[in-house]
Amino acid sequence: IRMIGAIHFEHGGDYRFQALSNDGFQLYLGDTLVVSDPKQHSDQLSEIGSIVINESGWYPLRIDYFQRKGTAALKLFWETPQSKEMTF
């Protein structure tokens, strides 16, 4: 599945992203690959990826996700420069 949309950042700063997935996924902001967990696996958290946003506004977002067999899961988490805590 390829999901395409946009995400709004209210402030500039360092944003961190992580996902719980079963099987693999990749997260892009614009043309930048932020998180990559492309292999087949059961439910697991990805490593954390970060990106520096220079100014507030809308940014293109793309998630490429695949599911081979069995159960499926995809949940995206992020941390803003102000929160310092992952949320979904």
CA 80-21-60 angle, to 5 degrees, is 50
pLDDT digits (tens, 9 = 90+) for 4-51: 999 999 999 999 999 999 989 999 999 999 999 988 888 999 999 999
Position 71 pLDDT exceeds 90: no
pLDDT value, residue 13: 97
Position 88 pLDDT exceeds 90: no
pLDDT value, residue 70: 83
Position 74 pLDDT exceeds 90: yes
Of 20, 82, 18, 24, nearest to 49 (Cα)?
18
Written as one string, the DSSP assignment of 26-66 is: EEEETTEEEEEE-S--SSEEPPPEEEEE-S-EEEEEEEEE-
